[in-house]
Amino acid sequence: MKKFNSFLLINVGILLVAAGVVIFKVPNNFATGGVTGIAIIIHKIKPSLSVGMLMLVVNIILLIIGLLFAGFEFGIKTIYSTLVLSLVIWFLEKIHPIKKPLTGDTMLELFLAILLLAAGSAILFYQNASGGGTDIVAKILNQKIHWHIGKAVLIVDFIISIFAVCFRV
């Protein structure tokens, strides 16, 4: 039963993150960090490339690193979460693409994007998983040099956000 509950919670976390990305981040070109931010930057430069597919490619590379350095349980749960998250985002983009912001209120949409992604990511971390990408880097930094996961994510996301500003995303 414990494994089923963990699996269920992982899927809830995935759905929250995917909703935040598809409904709020992509239509607003919010590149707030992470592999999603990297994918949005690349998508802005080359619009024919799908955000979900770009996320999948970058995450595969990081998943291999995660398996090697963050442990088997975390690695397996993160592989599942990352693949399903990328596929859910890709699927949502295909069945119901959202081309423009829903409300026109940028601050509200940024708040909702951050809220959904933070809640989903917290659920995933609580289940010893992650949505992949920079969360894998944060987990490794947490384990190896004892940085708080939040601090590690903040630093990596800050660097990605600087690139987003440079590319005017």
pTM, entire model: 0.80
Query: What's the confidence (pLDDT) of residue 108?
Result: 96
Q: CA dist 112 to 17, 20, 23, 35, 109, Å?
A: 11, 7, 9, 19, 5
Query: What's the confidence (pLDDT) of residue 41?
Result: 85
Query: What's the confidence (pLDDT) of residue 31?
Result: 65
- Domain locations along the chain: 2-166
CA 122 – CA 42 distance, rounded (Å):
26
Query: pLDDT truncated to tens, each residue of the chain (169 aa)?
Result: 899 999 999 999 999 999 999 999 889 988 667 887 888 888 888 999 988 888 888 888 888 888 898 889 999 999 899 889 989 999 998 998 888 898 989 999 999 998 999 899 889 989 999 988 888 888 888 888 998 888 888 888 888 888 888 877 5
